[in-house]
Structure 1
Amino acid sequence: MDLTFRQVDVFATEPFHGNPLAVIIGADGLSDVQMAQIANWTNLSETTFLLRPTHPDADYRVRIFTPQTELPFAGHPTLGSAFVWTSLGNTSKSDVIIQECGAGLVPVRRQADRLAFAAPPRRRIGPVGADDLTHALTALRLKPDDILSAQWADNGPGWMVLQLPSRRDVLAIQPDWQTLQGQRVGVVGAWDPARDGTDAQFEVRAFVGDGQGWEDPVTGSLNAGIAQWLIESGIAPAQYVVSQGAALRRAGQFFVEKVSDDIWIGGNVVTRISGMITV
């Protein structure tokens, strides 16, 4: 079976500096086992499979796999999948693209020359408990006085977020991957315009305690949850820019905008590989 394949660069400000995503189109004939095997083989943080929708309002359905498991929602796979779907000549039923995924229906819209998805409802919010926080601080080699706040911002993957005073503090983190096992921790800190410049207002890093442990270079789901928390709490304005990936020599950029009751997470997507995959 030959299926159309794309590999795209999501949230990149320059070539090969965003988060890569593999997209398999017309994957309705694949089994769960085949999807899991392909995602494990591509060895990217996520691989998506585009399917016919089952919900009458959806334009397409997507299943999102890491090399180890399936996710109900993830940010860069959402933008990358929507970009590939539209690049194949498809048109949405309404003025926004409606993606169906494990988390439900996710709107995606054009935002200038970018795509943006509406941050989905969080599954868990509120302060992080003492045991979970102690675990995370130990894994990131931080002390309680090093952070300003700790909140759950889980919209599917399970993100906990620590707010640090500055971008410099965020970039200085050197995690203990063995201790991090079982946790997904995001860290956010404000840019200092005098020291860091004005290209962004916040720096983010994403630490994943799965397998050997790894840092995700550019993370849409995490930034969606962070944006909801920061804007609701008044820490961030209704519109701002996020930088992520500097510690990994990447240059990811997110454009956050609150419109009415929705918070939109936008970024660039570019196709880097186009072809067929034989299953």
Structure 2
Amino acid sequence: MELKFNTLDVFTNKRFGGNPLAVVHDADHLTTEQMQTITREFNLSETIFVMKPADPNNTAKVRIFFPGGEMPFAGHPTLGCAILLAEMKNKPGCSFETEIRLEEVAGLVPVKVTRIGDVPHGMFKAPVVPVKVDDGPDKAAIAAALGLSADEIGFAGHAPILLQGGPTFFFVPVVSRSVLEKSRVCEPAWSALMGILGKHEAYVDAAYVYTRGGDGKDASFRSRMYAPGGGIPEDPATGSATALLARQLLIADKLKDGKHRFVIEQGYEMKRPSDLVLEADVAKGDLTEVRVGGQAVRVSAGVITV
């Protein structure tokens, strides 16, 4: 069996930046084991498999895998796949605006895709409004896992927190860019920290470390994401974690009712600069909708034999 595939760089408008993604087309006859094997063959942070939708009103059914297993929802595969499918539906060089509707394990994810000029832009609605699971454990344990000191954890109302919205991430605010840059996974303290977080029913193997500011004049935050247990030593861009960040911002920055927009830089320390846009709608003091957007560019196309 031969299947067509594309690779894209997501959350960037330049090839060889952002987060690489593989998209495998016409994957309806693949087994879960085959999808996992193909994902390991591509050896990227995530691979998305495109199938016929269960509801003909939707664009496609998709399944998302990372080297360690399947994910119910992930941001950069959702965005990259939607942009690719939208471009495939429209003539090259023509401007367009369309909605791509992806059936994911976590639920239906609509993605608004527009192209004006050469590089398209997409914005997806998170399938689940993120919720708080728990506060973080002792700062000393967190600091040891990241090669930091306890007084470098947290800033101005931002404290470590465990959030869920499809996947679950552990969020670690740090005091400055220099602290973010020197953060790293340190064993055995990292595994000990994941063990502490593992008391929750939600599976946790990832820490999203962030601080205020960035290189861009519009940048709100700079972040890094570590998930070595899932085969991702560091992720260049994490759309799902960016969506969950909205809950932390609501709590820590006490967002007022209305629409809020943030630009998050990620992957810069890896030399894979990624720029993500987070939009959060707040009404009556709570989140009502979260959206994440960015750009993507095609890098390669080919055929994989299974």
Contact preservation (8 Å) 2:132, 2:163: yes
Contact preservation (8 Å) 2:14, 2:297: no
SS in 2 for 1:130: coil
1:109 to 109, 112, 124: 112
> Deviation of residue 199 (structure 1)?
4.2
Distance in 1 of aligned mates of 2:187 and 2:126: 28
The worse-fitting range, judged by mean Cα deviation, of 163-172 and 11-20 is 163-172
Distance in 1 of aligned mates of 2:266 and 2:73: 19
Query: What's the counterpart of residue 5 of structure 1?
Result: 5
Letter in 2 for 1:14: K
SS in 2 for 1:28: coil
SS in 1 for 2:45: coil
Letter in 2 for 1:44: L
Where does 1:82-121 land on structure 2 (aligned, <5 Å)?
A: 82-89=82-89, 96-110=99-113, 113-121=120-128
Verify: 1:146 aligned to 2:173, yes or no.
no
Question: Cα gap change, 1:32/1:15 in structure 2, threshold over 3 Å: closer, same or farther?
Answer: same
Where does 1:85-234 land on structure 2 (aligned, <5 Å)?
A: 85-89=85-89, 96-110=99-113, 113-121=120-128, 124-130=131-137, 135-148=141-154, 149-181=159-191, 182=194, 183-191=205-213, 196=215, 198-210=217-229, 214-231=233-250, 233-234=252-253
The C-alpha deviation readout for 1:42-101, integer Å capped at 9, x for no partner, is 1111111001122465321110111221111111011111122222228xxx96322111
> Deviation of residue 134 (structure 1)?
5.2
Question: Cα gap change, 1:259/1:110 in structure 2, threshold over 3 Å: closer, same or farther?
Answer: farther
Question: Cα gap change, 1:146/1:120 in structure 2, threshold over 3 Å: closer, same or farther?
Answer: farther
> Deviation of residue 184 (structure 1)?
0.8
Letter in 1 for 2:148: L
The worse-fitting range, judged by mean Cα deviation, of 21-30 and 147-156 is 147-156
Letter in 1 for 2:169: W
Letter in 1 for 2:302: G
The C-alpha deviation readout for 1:88-134, integer Å capped at 9, x for no partner, is 228xxx96322111111112113674101112325651442436x65
Verify: 1:60 aligned to 2:70, yes or no.
no
TM-score by length of 2: 0.80
The worse-fitting range, judged by mean Cα deviation, of 153-162 and 5-14 is 153-162
Contact preservation (8 Å) 2:43, 2:67: yes
Distance in 2 of aligned mates of 1:135 and 1:213: 21
Query: What's the counterpart of residue 16 of structure 1?
Result: 16
Question: Cα gap change, 1:55/1:231 in structure 2, threshold over 3 Å: closer, same or farther?
Answer: farther
Query: What's the counterpart of residue 276 of structure 1?
Result: 303
- Percent identical: 35
Q: Give ranges in structure 1 of 5+ residues lacking alignment.
A: none
Letter in 1 for 2:124: F
SS in 1 for 2:128: coil
What count of residue pairs does the alignment treat as equivalent?
Answer: 272
Query: What's the counterpart of residue 199 of structure 2?
Result: none
Which 4+ stretches in 1 moved above 4 angstroms?
none
Contact preservation (8 Å) 2:86, 2:113: no
SS in 1 for 2:229: coil
Distance in 2 of aligned mates of 1:161 and 1:96: 31
Contact preservation (8 Å) 1:178, 1:212: no
The C-alpha deviation readout for 1:176-202, integer Å capped at 9, x for no partner, is 15432343100110017xxx5514121
> Deviation of residue 233 (structure 1)?
4.1
Q: Give ranges in structure 2 of 5+ residues lacking alignment.
A: 91-96, 195-204, 283-287
> Deviation of residue 19 (structure 1)?
0.5
The C-alpha deviation readout for 1:25-57, integer Å capped at 9, x for no partner, is 110011111111101111111111001122465
CA-based RMSD of the aligned residues comes to 2.6
Contact preservation (8 Å) 2:222, 2:266: yes
Query: What's the counterpart of residue 268 of structure 2?
Result: 246
Distance in 2 of aligned mates of 1:56 and 1:74: 23
Letter in 2 for 1:222: A
> Deviation of residue 142 (structure 1)?
2.8
Where does 1:35-74 land on structure 2 (aligned, <5 Å)?
A: 35-55=35-55, 57-74=57-74
